[in-house]
Amino acid sequence: MRSDIIKKGLERVPHRALLHATGLSRKDLGRPFIGVATSFTDLIPGHIGMRDLERFIERGICYGGGVPFFFGVPGICDGIAMGHLGMCYPLGLREIVADTIETVCNAHGLDGIVCLTNCDKITPGMLMGIARLNIPAIIVTAGPMLSGRFRKRKLAFVHDTFEALAAAKRGQISQEDLACLEMEACPGAGSCQGLYTANTMACLTEALGLSLPGCGTALAISAKKRRISQASGERIVELVKKNLKPRDIINKDSLENAIVVDMALGGSTNTVLHLMAIAHEAGISLSLDTFDYISRRTPHITNIEPAGEHFMEDLEFAGGIPAVLKRLKAKLKNARTLSGRKIHEIADEASIVDEEVIRPLNQAYHKQGGIAVLYGNLAPNGAVVKQAAVSPRMMRFNGRARVFNREEEAMSAILAGKIRKGDCIVIRYEGPAGGPGMREMLAPTSAIVGMGLADSVALITDGRFSGGTKGPCIGHISPEASAGGPVAILKDGDIISIDIRDRKLEARLSGAEIEKRFKAWKPVPPKIKTGYLARYTKLVSSADKGAILG
């Protein structure tokens, strides 16, 4: 076993002494050592229920004949970090999580690992870590939150908090009702109820074959999630015995399967960054064009918050990801999964319970998938939009640029009523290096909706968007402003042309005018000059490369 490096031989007497100090018996030294990387924290609703799931993972490992060792992984709640300096950290946290997985497992010679995760950057960070480490591994995502309730209406976090606050600003919601929404929108444990980044990544982890069937949508509070946790603990010991590793699962076919599922679901645009980063760690080349190619050929068959009316609980009760795989079977490669079954076998065994939640391909909500990749003189290396959440009338849009160098400036202008119909908000210097950390723009995008401007105002940025974003909001503009991308030389009043159908994002500026402006442009110094974010700024790549560290 891999762990023999810390427990066998005369020279390992000191090591065994330390292991015995933890309570291990001599018999335990002959069993596989299984790490359990848990991101439990009291700070994140999606993670507060993990103590319970840890018990079942531990039980499964012991039943399987392994020895569990728990260690902590840091977590950030993107919703709490949103709209202030805190949002500079989550994307960088992804790299810390991956580094933690590598560091602990290699330092202690662990034979395998179970990753207990849930929220936005922690799940991709763990996936990156296991792809880099490449020892037997399994992911357990802790599950979605139930919808809230208010006067017989289902509530979702983004719609009933971020969008509601802007509606309250307009006098459309009373302070009493707003206070009730604040209390009821998030009723307990789990990742937020829509197809935001956390839930999208949970679904794609299952589609990749790196968690057990049903894990992606099993609710946080369910006995089903407990059973999956225990089965995952048992399965990791089997994976160690079979020496089945993440890179045996992560390949071009499984990554493309995940993208197909992503496009069919209409998931978060953040998945583009994360799947590219996971592919990089696995030594596989994955480009922006692959996402757009697959999107053009994959119908959007679910209508889940924030773009639609359904919730993650509806997808779970409709059959979950196995049912989605069944619907998409003809478009999926028959890749292997760590469950021991191939994708087509899982699809064949699934049942589609609700034809409206998971529509037939010929009755799709949209003919194309959820994400589109745009190019043009504003985004020579690409930009990304969640087209499934854009109304038909805004698929083509020409607007006057309203330029802001920070998210907070734009948010103030929106809430002050200074943004008018026909404006195109530009938020720049918020990219991977310029932000730093490529902050999510959920607050301004939700404020646009709440102020009643969703069908008359666009927003473009070199930052990124929450999975909760809807409307003509284009992010990941590459190159970013701080790297001298064309978005850096835009001025108020410039006409911005957006054509999502034809995949174009352009400023109506001549080449000569662009060249003239760049001669007068000077790079902006880094915003943060000390600590982790200063180091991150120096090392991070552009969004079109997955915002990975060099």
Contact criterion met (CB below 8 Å) for 111 and 35: no
Q: Which of 211, 229, 339, 466 is catalytic?
A: 466
**CA distances (Å), 409 to each of 131, 363, 418, in order?**
39, 42, 11
Contact criterion met (CB below 8 Å) for 34 and 114: yes
Write the burial class of residue 17 (CB in 10 Å: 0-12 exposed, 13-18 middle, 19+ buried): exposed
Nearest to 30 by CA among 51, 64, 4: 4
Residue carrying the six token digits 């087509």: 344
**CA distances (Å), 105 to each of 49, 155, 405, 548, in order?**
24, 40, 41, 21
**CA distances (Å), 467 to each of 192, 393, 471, in order?**
10, 21, 12
Please state, in angstroms and rounded to a whole number, the distance separating the CA atoms of residues 156 and 141.
Answer: 20
Write the burial class of residue 174 (CB in 10 Å: 0-12 exposed, 13-18 middle, 19+ buried): exposed
Distance of CA 530 to the CA centre of its chain: 27
148: Cβ contacts below 8 Å, ≥ 6 apart: 154, 155, 156, 160, 184, 185, 186, 187, 193
Please state, in angstroms and rounded to a whole number, the distance separating the CA atoms of residues 39 and 488.
Answer: 38
34: Cβ contacts below 8 Å, ≥ 6 apart: 61, 66, 67, 68, 69, 110, 111, 112, 113, 114, 233, 236, 237, 240
Residue carrying the six token digits 């998210």: 407
Nearest to 165 by CA among 82, 85, 89, 91: 82
User: Three-state DSSP class for 66?
Assistant: coil
The full 3-state SS of 309-347, as one line of letters, equals: CECHHHHHHCCHHHHHHHHHHHHCCCCECCCCCEHHHHH
Q: CA angle, 498 as apex, 466 and 362 as ends, to 5°?
A: 70
Alpha-carbon dihedral sign for residues 355, 152, 156, 46:
negative
For residue 466, indicate whether it is catalytic.
yes
Residue carrying the six token digits 């980044």: 197
Tokens of 489: 């030389």
Contact criterion met (CB below 8 Å) for 547 and 541: yes
Residues annotated as catalytic are 466
